[in-house]
Structure 1
Amino acid sequence: MNSLTDRTSVTRRRTPLNRSQIAGFWGAWAGWTLDGMDSFIYALVLTPALTELLPRSGYAATPANVGLAGSILFALFLVGWGLSFIWGPLADRFGRTKVLAGTIFTFAIFTGLAATSHNVWELGIYRFIAGVGIGGEWALAGTYVAEAWPEDRRKMGAGYLQTGYYAGFFLAAALNYTVGVHYGWRAMFLTGAVPVVVAILILLRVKESEKWQKAEARTVRTRPLREIMGPAYRRRTWVACILLTIAIIGLWAGAVYEPSAVIQLATKAGMAKNDAIRTASLATGLLSIATILGCLALPPLAERIGRKKTLAIYFLGMAVAIVGSFGWAFYLPNGLAPFIAWLFVLGFFGGNFALFSLWLPEQFETRVRATAFAFCTSFGRFVGAGVNFLLGAAVLHMHTLGVPVALTALAFIVGLFVIPFAPETRGEVLPQ
């Protein structure tokens, strides 16, 4: 009875959120949602966009050329993501909210401009610059929520925030199911310009985090990038880079190639083109819902058993799910239903990204936090760009999608051996 009373008392003592904290969270969440939508739009419209633009660029729109060009453009997009580390030092110097609005404005404008592309070169440039904006949003949104929310709420705040990205996947799938099917790929890119409104609202409504304001007031100006590479932070910086790289490889291998795999399996099952596209959209929606559930389940688990054990469970789940979906179900004679079933498992453990929103801010002090978050995520995207290019080449060489993607499960096995080198921050407050 006393135990129940104690738990109820703890629940009631949770610090209430003020209006600025609530507005700030929803601004960050909406930006992250539209970020996810923007990222996944490309995967959904890849084939129709390149089928139209390749002939205008002097290349035949063969399946091989579409696959290769798609991989090159996506690798270029990920390089843009990688260059997004520039936002981190800016946020540590000028504040979280202004720079967060800048990232959203950048990816929104250049996603909208992608709708005007006349050839693959223009599409590549627009996607590259959009990637620079998209890449910075996660680091700044995660940093802002960690600093702005009270200590007793910020862990779940990280899980709530991460659901936004996958809500964006769901939104992109819904738009593709309606707008994309009826109005084409250009209309899909135009919907990506909507986040401009969110950027304006963030600038007007959201106050800067008190932690940053206090740190700014007492900080002697240093070079944050040099500091996170110094003796105090070097090990945790590089370990975080490796773990994030593995997570990013899994995200893009599983999520980005999922629509193409579903379309291939649906076509093989005898579906018409539009029905296959709709099936891919529904499968993406299922993947997104599962990932949202994985994000929500992660913070309580991390609080109970620790950050490192939680990430190990999610990494192992990702390895099994990638092999089960792309290595096994994809090659079954009637593999569409089993593949979609495996997507739920793949989606749930894809929620491992929520741990980084929770864990990374705990590893660095306020004066360098945004720089560290942005650098670690950007490093992974550079490597992810290279892996994506290799995947495209492997698909072209092996004439199959399943095996090359299934091999990315090996990265998560490597990750299980890296996790022990990371710091365990369970029970610690956010460093000042």
Structure 2
Amino acid sequence: MSSMTDRARLARQRTPLNRSQIAGFWGAWTGWTLDGMDSFIYALVLTPALTELLPRSGYAATPANVGLAGSLLFALFLVGWGLSFIWGPIADRFGRTKVLAGTIFTFAIFTGLSAIAQNVWELAIFRFIAGVGIGGEWALAGTYVAESWPEDRRKMGAGYLQTGYYAGFFLAAALNYTVGVHFGWRAMFLTGAVPVFVAILVLTRVKETEKWQKAEASTKVHVKPLREIFGPRYRRRTWVACALLTIAIVGLWAGAVYEPSAVIQLATKAGMDKNGAIKTASLATGLLSIGTILGCLVLPWLAEQVGRRKTLAIYFAGMAVSIAGSFGWAFYLPDGLAPFIAWLFVLGFFGGNFALFSLWLPEQFETRVRATAFAFCTSFGRFVGAGVNFLLGAAVLHLHTLGVPVALTAIAFVIGLFIIPLAPETRGETLPQ
């Protein structure tokens, strides 16, 4: 009884947040939410967009061409994500808030422009540049929250922040259920321009973090952060973080991007018409998102109880089992729609492993190189993810099935279990200055 009273007293005694910290968090969270929405809009509107644009580009809109073009465009989008590491050194040199706003402006404007694409090439260019902006937002939002929130709130802040991306999935599914069904794919892309207003909020209402200001004031000669994270001090943790993030990204995109197509196939097989199948895919995506949000909220608490490495191991093991269970088993059942959707909730929960990186990466690097390290490690995984996505698309075409190629990505998480012990355990440590 007394321990419960002590915990309640500690909760009441947490450092209060000031107005700038609150506004900054909601700016970062909303940007990350709309970032997630933007990313998932493409998965939801892929087929109708390419069905219209391929003939205008000189190609027949056959299912095979739609699948191949979709994989190529998505791979290009991920390459744009990969190039987003450029934002990290800029933020370490010029501050977090201005560069965070810049990432939001970039992905919002070029997502909106996707709505006026007249052929596949224009859509590819717009999605590529939007990817550069989207990729930078996570690194900058995660770095900002870690540095601006008090130490006793920082860990939960990382979990709260990560829920935004999956709230974006939910928002995209809701928009597809309403706007997409009635007004088409161009209207869906147009909604992606809304984050411009969030960028303006960040620029006008949010102060720069004190940690960055102190680091900037104490630095007489500006270091080259990209070179430093590969120096003797940080080299090992940089590459280990790159490997773990690569595995997480491969699993996220395999499961989340192909999920709507899988549900549509299963719903059609169950006798639903086109609109019914699209609505079912939207509802399934919503369930996946709810599971992931719960996973993000549980993760910081678990990381404080058992440590960062054990927590990631639990989530990676859950991802391996749920990907195999959904795409490798339920997808091939005669009446697989309901079991597949049930597995999606489990897949979503363990997909919350991304919240750990928002919490753990800032703890591994000093302020002067933190944004660069965060941006590089996330970008590296996206480059590899682009290659894996292309291979997945080719495998789907070759095998004439969606389930087996996606199910095989579970192997990556098993490999990850052997890499996790190489990472530093930072539980109980304060954020390094």
TM-score (norm 2): 0.99
**Superposition deviation, residue 2 in structure 1:** 3.8
Query: Which residue of structure 1 lines up, in the alignment, with residue 419 of structure 2?
Result: 418
2:156 match: 156
Q: 1:257 is paired with a residue of what secondary structure? A: helix
Aligned pairs (5 A) from 1:229-268: 229-268=230-269
Deviation at 1:5, TM superposition (A): 3.5
Aligned mates of 1:185, 1:4 — CA distance in 2? 52
Counterpart in the other structure of 1:383? 384
Name the SS for the 1:153 alignment partner.
helix
Shift of 1:11: 1.6
Q: Which amino acid aligns with 1:88?
A: G
Distance 1:312 1:287 in 2: 21
User: How far apart are residue 43 of structure 1 and its match?
Assistant: 0.0
Alpha-carbon offset, residue 290 of structure 1: 0.4
CA offsets, 1:337-362, max 9 Å, x none? 00000000000000000000000000
1:386 Cα offset (Å): 0.1
Give the CA deviation at 1:371.
Answer: 0.2
| Amino acid in the other structure paired with 1:39 | S
Partner in structure 2 of residue 358 of structure 1: 359
Q: Distance in 2 between matches of 1:8 and 1:333?
A: 51
Instruction: Report the Cα offset of residue 13 of structure 1.
Output: 1.7
Which ranges in structure 1 are unaligned for 5 or more consecutive residues?
A: none
Identity of aligned residues (%): 88
The one-letter code matched in structure 1 to 2:160 is Y
CA distance in 2 between counterparts of 1:332 and 1:57 reads 38
Structure 2 distance, partners of 1:61, 1:9, is 63
Structure-2 residue corresponding to 1:32? 32
Is there any run of 5+ residues in structure 2 with no aligned partner, and where?
none
Distance 2:21 2:308 in 1: 25
Distance of 1:409 and 1:175 partners within structure 2 = 30
Amino acid paired to 1:339? F
Q: Which residue of 2 aligns with 1:190?
A: 190
Cα distance between partner residues in 1 of 2:4 and 2:122: 61
Q: Superposition RMSD on alpha carbons, in Å?
A: 0.6
Tell me the SS of whatever aligns to 1:121.
Answer: helix
For 2:151, what is the secondary structure of its paired residue? coil
CA deviation after TM superposition for structure 1 residue 12, in Å: 2.1
The answer as to 2:210 corresponding to 1:210 is yes
Q: What is the CA–CA distance in structure 2 between the aligned matches of 1:7 and 1:391, rounded to whole Å?
A: 48
CA distance in 2 between partners of 1:57 and 1:403 (Å): 31
| Partner-residue secondary structure (3-state), 2:223 | coil
For residue 83 of structure 2, what is the aligned residue in structure 1? 83
Corresponding residue pairs, total: 432
Q: Which amino acid aligns with 1:221?
A: H
Q: Does 1:113 align with 2:113?
A: yes
d(CA) in 1 for partners of 2:417, 2:344: 22
TM-superposed deviation, 1:251: 0.3
What is residue 63 of structure 1 aligned with on the other side?
63
Distance 1:426 1:339 in 2: 36
Which residue of structure 2 aligns with residue 319 of structure 1? Answer: 320
Give the letter for the 2:141 counterpart.
A
Structure 2 CA distance for aligned equivalents of residues 416 and 9 of structure 1: 37
Distance in 1, Cα, partners of 2:292 & 2:10: 29
| 1:93-138 residue CA offsets vs partner (Å, 9 max, x unmatched) | 0000000000000000000000011110000000000000000000
Q: Aligned partner of 2:409: which letter?
A: T
1: CA distance between counterparts of 2:161 and 2:5?
30
Give a deviation string over 1:133-190, Cα, whole Å, max 9, x none: 0000000000000000000000000000000000000000000000000000000000
